[in-house]
Every structure is written in C-alpha cells, then in structure tokens.
Amino acid sequence: MNSLKHKAAVNDWERVVGKENVVTRESSLREAETSTFAIRHRVPAIVRPGTRAEVQECLRIANRREVPVYPISSGKNWGYGSRVPASDGCVLLDLGRMNRILDFSEDLAYVTVEPGVTQAQLYAFLQERKSKLWMDATGASPHCSMIGNTMERGFGHTPYGDHFANSCGFEVVLPDGSVIETGFARFPSAKTAPLHRSGVGPILDGLFSQSNLGIVTRMTIWLMPAPEYFQAYYFRCEQNDGLGAILDALRPLRLDGTIRSASHIANDYKVLSALQQYPWDLTGGETPLQGHHMATLRNELKIGAWNGSGALYGTKAQVKEARRLLRRALKGKATRLQFLDDRLLRLAARFAKPYQLVSGWNLERMLAVLKPVYGLMRGIPTDHPLFSTYWRKRTPPPPSMDPDRDGCGLLWCSPVAPNDGRSAHELTGIATELILRQGFEPAISITILSERTISCVIALGYDREVEGEDERAKSCYDELLAALAAKGYHSYRLSVGSMSAMGDKNSTYSELLRDLKYMIDPKGILSPGRYIPISDLEKYRSAHL
C-alpha cells in the first residue's frame, strides 16, 4: 500500500464494506500472494463485500480510483494459482462472505447459490434436508467454492461432472457496477430462469467463464437425483501401452449413454502419490522416481500402469446391463475389473485386516484411497487428494493441510485430447518422457469428461523449499504446455502465471477478445490479464485513447 491512489480506494471500500472487511495486514497479504508455485504478483489489500450491492459499489470505486481488483470465491484454485491474481497490484475481492443458498427445488433438482458457498456447505445443506439429490464435487477441497470451480470449468466424477454444462441463470456484476442476469432470468418473473441455459437471443453465459468480463454473484447449479442403485467399478492395466485399447473400448459405452459419468484413469505415479509420499528410502534420496523403482512399487502396492475408476447409476437392472457391457468391452484389455457397492465396501472395511494376513496385500491402505474416490463418484466432497500435494515433502502432511502455506509445489497442466486411444497414448507418452527428463514425476489422470474428449490433469509436484525447484518446475511446465500444444493438445485451463501462453492461428480471435474487454471494462480494472492477455489490452488502449 504505497500510493495515495490505493489509500483513497481503501478508504472508500472501508466505507462500503466496513473496516473489519478490508484487510491490509502485511502477513495476510503475503499469504494471499502465495500459491503452490512461484509467482510474484503483489496484493495491496483484500476487500470482503458481503452482498451483491457491495460488490457493485466496490467496482464503482475501483473504476473511480483506477485500482484493479481480482475476485476470488474461495481462492482454492490449487495448482493454477490459488488466490494469486493474474497480474501485479490487484486488490483481492474476496467473495467468501457471500455464502447464501438462495433457492432450492427437490423436484426440479437445482440449487441457487452465491460465490462463497462451498462444496462442504452444499453437501451439508442437502444432507440436512435429507434430499434425494446428489451434487457433483471436484477433488480439490471441501472448502472450494461451487461457483469458483464452475466458472473455471472444473469437473468432477458423476454424470454431472462437467460443472459449467450443468449451471445456468448467472447474475453478473459488470466492471462498471451494473448487473445483468443471463438466460431467461433477464425477464421479469421468468419461471425458467433456474432451469434453462439459453434464453432468447445471443447466449452470454460463456463470456463470463474463464474471463475478466464480469463477476458472477449468483448461479443455479443443477443436481442429479440419487439413483436407485449405485455401483463403482475399478480396473487396472499392467502395460504402459495398454491405455489406448482401454479408451477405444470405453468410448462406445460413453457415446451410447451406458457410461454417463466422468470416469477416471490414473497412471501409476498418480496413484502412488495418493497412497504415500515420495519413496526417499527406496531411491536413496535420488529424484526423479525412475521406471524401475516405479515397477517395484507397482508390484508391491498392486498398482497398475493405468488404474481406472468410474461408476454406474440407475435401477438394479440398468446397472446390471451396464456391468455386462463394461465387462464385455474391457475383456482382454483391462485386468481385475471389480465392482463395489455400499454393502461390499462395508464388508471390505471390516475384513481388511484378516485379508491382509492371508493375502499379504495391504487392503486397508488401498481402501483409504478408494473410499474418497468412491465418495466423489457419489458427489461427496473430500480433501483426500490434497495429500498428494505433499508428495515431495520430507515430513508427513500436518493434520490440517494447506499446500500454499506448507510450501508444497504443484503445477497442473490440463490438456484436452480426442477420446481415442491413439491420442491418449501420444499425449501421455510426450508428458511422461518430458517430465521425467526434467527431473519430476508425471502424475497423470485422465477424465473421460465428454463423449468425444478426454481431459487430462498432469500434476507436477515438487518441494518449494528446495533451492531452484520453483524455476525448474516452471520451466518444465512451460515446456510441457508448448510440447503438447505443438501436437494439437491444448489446455482447457491455465495457471495465472501462463495466461498469455496460448498462440492463436491468427490475431483476429485475440483482437475480438481484447475489443470485448475494452468495451466492457475500458479502464481494465477487473482482473487484468486473466485469460485475455494484458499486453494486448494495453497496446489497444494506447492506440485508441
């Protein structure tokens, strides 16, 4: 907080939201500037509006004082930048206090929320009401915002895994402080406002996803009816090059609706990082974890080269038929296809210890990993995946995990590929080779998010407290992004440090985005640099003003 301009803005904001909701304490600001990788964007203050009207007023002040702001819902954008803004000097607009659940319908299966509503909060809300509806949850954290994740186009594991596709009726505060509602919500007393994506005329929702064109202060999220019967499935594939055949076998089932949910396939590194931290002893302290060590661990822990999970939802008869089709499709391509339901899970938990005595396999440890994923497939939030961000740490994670605070290094690269074996094989091959060569472990998970594409999440885990690792990891991430893009595999989401990384075919698309940004936010006060490169905007402004 070094300029007069900032001080004046802070004074104005304090008048709107109250002194207690404007944070300028140095330690809090330093925390907010810290993510799971190195990024040096200063945060001069944190402002916490409590209502939509306060958000509007905050933006009017930002315009008047020409101080840029950057909204966060819960700030749990792990692996992509946590709470850190996409450019230097943005005041955080923390929407966490706006955490009301505004509307809910059991019959029409939706809930309308504010940005501060977290996965855990929505889950508790549904449980309290004994609702027969399931939410979808990402593995990020129970304390992650529903709206935040949806606007970033995050995804989970159920048939409603594609969050953006299952949302509608946004209330958006534009950078000048005015408000619009999307879809039919723009009309008075519209009965379909929470039910229908498009209204009449152009569809604007997409403009506000992965952008800096407005702040979504209300959203309807569709929920799925709990099925009569639920059964998870798990399978393995022992060969590194067996992934392609599995995807080609699953694709027809995804296309014809037999598999309706976003099933996952994780490689050995990914599963290992969920089971334990880096095996320092085994490698004698060496990094990265090379193939032969991985082979030993795979064998010991009964991990496949590829490890699939997904679930079947429906009546008993529907699930039975899906099971038959899944078995037939995976025959000869996957091993140990197993089905798990509530009854079996309870049994397994009870007999894990005796089972280990007989078989030597540590079922209990495996269950500790299986159960959270099993829950996610029923839309139950978990913080278990956070464990893996401590992968390269030399000490175990504390009871209350916080990767930002604890210096966990994590960069997520998330390329999208055609849902076919050849593409998946090529993509994972490039990533595995490149990452190992640069001294890290390629922890890869593949989500069959849609009928025609797979979304990969490649985690680069490291220890930020090791000298030079920040730089090495960033350089590895940049190289990976470029190598995959060169082969036609572009990321669906970017980290706040890399939002200018995507090169268009020609400049028309970027110019259109820039024109949009300039029209809606002429002073560039909302999240400058977020998905619409800031340099372009500045060039544009200097040319046009």
For a second copy, which residue of 48, 163, 251, 264 counts as binding (CB under 8 A)? 251
For a second copy, which residue of 450, 472, 483, 541 counts as binding (CB under 8 A)? 450
> Which residues in 169-188 contact a second copy (CB under 8 A)?
174, 178-181, 184, 186-188
Q: Distance (Å, rounded) from C-alpha 375 to C-alpha 286?
A: 35
Q: Distance (Å, rounded) from C-alpha 489 to C-alpha 463?
A: 28
Q: Which stretch binds a second copy (CB under 8 A): 51-59, 189-197, 279-287, 302-310?
A: 189-197
- The alpha carbon of 373 is separated from its chain's Cα centroid by a whole number of angstroms, namely 15
Q: Which stretch binds a second copy (CB under 8 A): 32-40, 231-239, 440-448, 512-520?
A: 512-520
For a second copy, which residue of 299, 315, 338, 535 counts as binding (CB under 8 A)? 315
- Contacts with a second copy by CB under 8 A: the residue count is 91
For a second copy, which residue of 138, 145, 217, 258 counts as binding (CB under 8 A)? 258
Residue 400 engages a second copy in binding (rule: CB under 8 A): no
Q: Are strands 110-113 and 91-94 parallel, antiparallel or unpaired?
A: unpaired
Measured from the CB atom, is 56 or 382 closer to a second copy?
A: 56
Measured from the CB atom, is 300 or 504 closer to a second copy?
A: 504
> Which residues in 191-250 contact a second copy (CB under 8 A)?
191-192, 195-211, 213, 222, 224-225, 227
The enclosing H or E element of 417 equals: strand 416-418
For every residue of 450-488, DSSP letters joined together read SSSEEEEEEEEEEETTSTTHHHHHHHHHHHHHHHHHHTT
Measured from the CB atom, is 10 or 427 closer to a second copy?
A: 427
| CA terminus-to-terminus distance, the chain | 28
Q: Which stretch binds a second copy (CB under 8 A): 38-46, 57-65, 237-245, 311-319?
A: 311-319
- The alpha carbon of 50 is separated from its chain's Cα centroid by a whole number of angstroms, namely 25
Q: Do 496 and 69 form a contact (C-beta atoms < 8 A)?
A: no
> Which residues in 288-307 contact a second copy (CB under 8 A)?
none
For a second copy, which residue of 88, 420, 465, 478 counts as binding (CB under 8 A)? 420
Q: Do 88 and 496 form a contact (C-beta atoms < 8 A)?
A: no
> Which residues in 325-364 contact a second copy (CB under 8 A)?
325
Q: Do 76 and 145 form a contact (C-beta atoms < 8 A)?
A: yes
For a second copy, which residue of 260, 264, 333, 378 counts as binding (CB under 8 A)? 260
Q: Distance (Å, rounded) from C-alpha 373 to C-alpha 97?
A: 29
The binding track of 78-117 with respect to a second copy, each residue x by CB under 8 A or -, is -----------------------------xxxx-------
Residue 502 engages a second copy in binding (rule: CB under 8 A): yes
Residue 189 engages a second copy in binding (rule: CB under 8 A): yes
Question: What is the nearest approach in angstroms of a second copy to the Cβ of residue 501?
Answer: 10
Residue 429 engages a second copy in binding (rule: CB under 8 A): no
Residue 535 burial by Cβ neighbours in a 10 Å radius (0-12, 13-18, 19+) = exposed
Question: What is the nearest approach in angstroms of a second copy to the Cβ of residue 314?
Answer: 7
For a second copy, which residue of 29, 262, 473, 532 counts as binding (CB under 8 A)? 532
> Which residues in 116-155 contact a second copy (CB under 8 A)?
153
Residue 505 engages a second copy in binding (rule: CB under 8 A): yes
Question: What is the nearest approach in angstroms of a second copy to the Cβ of residue 25?
Answer: 34
Nearest 5°: CA angle at 193, between 179 and 126?
A: 105
Measured from the CB atom, is 1 or 317 closer to a second copy?
A: 317
Residue 503 engages a second copy in binding (rule: CB under 8 A): yes
Measured from the CB atom, is 204 or 386 closer to a second copy?
A: 204
Measured from the CB atom, is 54 or 171 closer to a second copy?
A: 171
Question: What is the nearest approach in angstroms of a second copy to the Cβ of residue 109?
Answer: 6
Measured from the CB atom, is 213 or 369 closer to a second copy?
A: 213
Residue 194 burial by Cβ neighbours in a 10 Å radius (0-12, 13-18, 19+) = buried
Give the 3-state secondary structure of residue 313: strand
What is the strand order of the sheet 91-94 is part of?
22-23, 46-47, 91-94, 69-72
Residue 344 CA: distances (Å) to CA of 41, 237, 324, 347: 50, 23, 19, 5
Question: What is the nearest approach in angstroms of a second copy to the Cβ of residue 296?
Answer: 35
Phi, psi of 290 (to 5 degrees): -80, 170
For every residue of 505-533, DSSP letters joined together read SSSHHHHHHHHHHHHH-TT--BSTTSSS-
Question: What is the nearest approach in angstroms of a second copy to the Cβ of residue 291?
Answer: 27
Q: Do 27 and 484 form a contact (C-beta atoms < 8 A)?
A: no
Residue 195 CA: distances (Å) to CA of 118, 279, 287, 470: 21, 50, 51, 45
Q: Which stretch binds a second copy (CB under 8 A): 9-17, 31-39, 123-131, 320-328?
A: 320-328
For a second copy, which residue of 5, 15, 25, 324 counts as binding (CB under 8 A)? 324
Residue that has been written with the tokens 């028309």 in this structure:
508
